[in-house]
Amino acid sequence: MGVVAEVERKLARARCRQEADAEPDLRTSTMTHVVWAPEAWLPTARRVLAGLAERHPARTILLVPVRGRRSGIEARATVEDFETGDGREVLSEVIELRLSGDAARHPASVVLPLLISDLPAFCRWRGQPNWESQALAELVDVCDRLVVDSSEWPGIPAGYGNLAALFERIAVSDLAWRRGLPWRVALAGLWPGIRKAERLTVEGPRADALLLASWLRSRLRRDVALRRRAADTIESVRVDGRPVELPARSGPPTASDLLSAELDTLSRDPLFEAAARAAAR
């Protein structure tokens, strides 16, 4: 039996077991969520998924490339249920595939038959992709949207150039860009005073700061110098020395919140694309 048939059989059995608990079950999916998570990223990826699955009923395919020259796929398939609050349960499917050798280089061959028909497929790529890899090329071709977090990359700003090369092939999201949204809103609120801004000072992660400055440059069509002090999240932003105020709002979003927001977005984001291209320069 092939790995896909085995996965389907395991899922069918798991669904039957779930149905035996006397709660009426619904199998409702809004997408296929593919996650490329090398082993070092696996615990973090699982944590984020745990906070996400209930919000986005989906088939999640967790691809874990492991060392080993021999081609092989180890599959685990489980069904998770979430109460809807009315005595019913919604089932989400999680398929974990550990890929080695050729199988890790050609993930599309196993992902493609497992995609849910007619629904969008998102690929969350953990860490910095190997831009030249066959695995990335294949997943870009079978998915509709690639979600990265450039703050996970050691190689910025060069990585933005590689990312920009994918824009014509797949819609792309960057969680570092999403994190900067409240600050972009606050900066937009400074118009027209900000029109001639010359210097942006950001206390925050490098990727977040770079994208914020690049966005400002691309929108204002002028050079804006960036100064940065390192911090885990964006703590403060100044324009020409003047602090930018964020409205008193609820706390920062969790990693699951950020990814959840990206999974609701289906189309290309020309503003992000322009900012990423500007950041690569």
Partner 1 sequence: MAANPLAQGLGVRRQPDPCALVVFGASGDLTKRKLFPALYSLAYRDLLPERFAVVGVARTEETTRQFVTAMRRAVKQFARDPFRSDVFDRLAAGVRYVPTDFADDDGEDRVGETLDELDDTRGTAGNRIHYLAVPPVAFPVVVREIGERREREGWSRVIIEKPFGHDLASARELSATVRRWFREDEVFRIDHYLGKETVQNLMALRFANGIFEPIWNRQMVDHVQITVAESIGIEGRAGYYERAGVIRDIFQNHLLQLVALTAMEPPIDFTADAVRNEKVKVLRAMHTPGPKSVVRGQYGRGWIEGEQVVGYREEPGVDPRSMTDTYIAAKLYVDNWRWADTPFYVRAGKRLARRETTIAIQFKRAPHPPFEEIAGDGMRPNVLLIHVQPDEGVSLAIGAKVPGAGMSIRTVHMDFLYGGAFREGVPEAYERLILDAMLGDATLFTREDEVEEQWKLVDAIVGAWSRDVPMFPDYAAGSWGPAKADELLHRDGRSWRRH
Interface residues toward partner 1, by CB under 8 A? 26, 28-30, 54-57, 82, 84-86, 88, 90, 181, 184-185, 187-188, 190-192, 194, 216, 219-221, 247-250, 269-271
Which is nearer to partner 1, 29 or 128 (by Cβ)?
29
Smallest distance, partner 1 to C-beta of residue 174, A: 15
Which is nearer to partner 1, 72 or 253 (by Cβ)?
253
- Separation of alpha carbons 64 and 61, rounded Å: 10
Query: Is the bond preceding residue 192 a cis peptide, omega within 30 degrees?
Result: yes
Smallest distance, partner 1 to C-beta of residue 249, A: 5
Smallest distance, partner 1 to C-beta of residue 139, A: 25
What DSSP designation does 117 have?
Answer: T
Smallest distance, partner 1 to C-beta of residue 168, A: 19
Residue 4 φ/ψ, nearest 5 degrees: -65, -45
Smallest distance, partner 1 to C-beta of residue 247, A: 6
3-state SS track over 144-197: CEEEECHHHCCCCCHHHHHHHCCCCCCEEEEHHHHHCHHHHHHHHCCCCHHHHC
Which is nearer to partner 1, 20 or 248 (by Cβ)?
248
Which is nearer to partner 1, 88 or 242 (by Cβ)?
88
Q: Answer whether 29's CB lies under 8 Å from 116's CB.
A: yes
Beta bridge partners of 26: 90
Which is nearer to partner 1, 5 or 119 (by Cβ)?
119
What DSSP designation does 131 have?
Answer: T
- Separation of alpha carbons 277 and 281, rounded Å: 7
